[in-house]
Amino acid sequence: MFWKSKAQNEDEIIVRQANPSDARGIISCMQSVMDERKYLVSEYYLLTERGEQERIRNPDDLTLVCEHRKEIVGVLTVQRGMYRKNRHVGTMGIAIKAGYRHRGLGTRMITEAIEWCRKQGILKLNLEVFSSNTNAISLYEKIGFEREGVRRKQFIIDGEYVDDILMTYWTMPEVLNGGVEGQQKQ
């Protein structure tokens, strides 16, 4: 089960699993990061509040939030593959508002997400990151993500071409050397 740290004071940031009542705050947090136009592909959050609530309710997906003074300041999602052939794979996305980065929140959320993936039988956790986001890449590599591929000049940010770095974390590395025999089928 996920931990929820109890705030010792009003300045403490709590990391917890999202609930449907967080939808508006999640949308606000995501839009804030999108407005910076340098960390996320989309420039506008496409889900409505109701759509976000439904996504949070999906038992195949995970949404974690960082909460500070009742405001959502960070969001992490893991979406499990929806087909029988890719149910062992999850795709992660993370966004933390300006002013809250470099405080260990990303590490806390990613660590929780990896543990959730293990419990759900998700063996491979994927993400995409702009090559220009060197701080995020360093964090992912420190945690144990490996570069799996590059889509060169995939995006244009501030008039410059930027590569799309594909990264993977194996939640059960022993699976790399074996087949699906003995693995729990989802």
| Domains contained in the chain, CATH given | 14-177 (3.40.630.30)
Q: How confident is the model at residue 180 (pLDDT cuts 50, 70, 90)?
A: low
**Region of residue 105 (phi > 0: left; psi between -120 and 50: alpha; otherwise: beta):** alpha
Backbone phi, psi, residue 155, to 5°: -135, 160
> Would you state the pLDDT for residue 8?
52
> Would you state the pLDDT for residue 149?
97
pLDDT tens-digit readout, 35-63 = 998 999 888 888 889 999 999 999 999 99
Helix axes 105-120, 134-143, angle to 10 degrees: 50
> Would you state the pLDDT for residue 183?
53
pLDDT tens-digit readout, 93-104 = 999 999 999 999
| Chain center to CA of 65 | 10
